[in-house]
Amino acid sequence: MSSRIPAAALAVVITLALVGCGGEDDDGEKRKEPNSARNSAAPGGGSVADKPAPRPTATIGELKGADGIAVILHSAVRDKGGFLTVNGTVVNRGNKPYTSLTWRSKETQMKSQSSVSGASLIDQAGRKRYLVLRDTDGECLCSTGLVNIRPGESRAVFAQFPAPPDDVKAVDFQLPTMPSVRIPVSG
């Protein structure tokens, strides 16, 4: 049996290391999320949570949902491996805690419960829909552990998709229960 790391799992580790999915609450304290990819080991020791995330400044789109929940998208970047990673922040502007159970995919063998596994990208010109990638264990290559997001709290999120053709410069980002938003693709 080979001891090589599947390419998709390696891509997730590299993506998390590059985008720094860890972060701080508004009061400056480190957040720890159960079952979150950011709490896993990082290359070279330590954990991804030990490295604070840079505060994103760019906004390429925003989805607004019920009860003051918003997803602010910061980037949609192609990489040389044929993937496209969408990074953003979920913000609870409401007055009660939020758990993202409605954002998960509707698969029968679903493993990623409180996640953005139900996200998709739509290439309208090419008439193609891209779903969140899965690793060899069936887990989404996306943010998980999105439970009990308190009022006023924000958390970094990401989802990785197969990259659309190079000539596609914009896609519609969709998340269940929220209206879609057209976002530019870079890279």
Cα-flanking dihedrals φ and ψ of residue 184, to 5°? -75, 150
Condensed to tens digits (0 to 9), the pLDDT of residues 124-162 reads: 989 999 999 988 888 889 988 888 899 999 999 999 999
Does the structure show a pLDDT above 80 at 108? Answer: no
Identify which of 65, 79, 75, 81 has the alpha carbon closest to the alpha carbon of residue 146: 65
What pLDDT was estimated at residue 112?
Answer: 53
Most confident listed range (40-54, 105-119, 122-136): 122-136
pTM (two decimals) = 0.68
Percent of the chain exceeding pLDDT 90 equals: 46
Enumerate domains of the chain plus CATH numbers: 56-184 (2.60.40)
Identify which of 154, 171, 153 has the alpha carbon closest to the alpha carbon of residue 162: 171
Does the structure show a pLDDT above 70 at 32? Answer: no
The CA R_g of the chain, rounded to the nearest whole Å, is 16
Identify which of 55, 34, 54 has the alpha carbon closest to the alpha carbon of residue 99: 34
Say if CB 9 and CB 135 are below 8 A apart.
yes
CA distances (Å), origin 167, targets 133, 162, 171, 186: 21, 14, 11, 11
What pLDDT was estimated at residue 43?
Answer: 36
What pLDDT was estimated at residue 49?
Answer: 41
Locate 161 and state its tokens.
């998709």
Least confident of 65-74, 81-90, 138-147, 160-169: 138-147
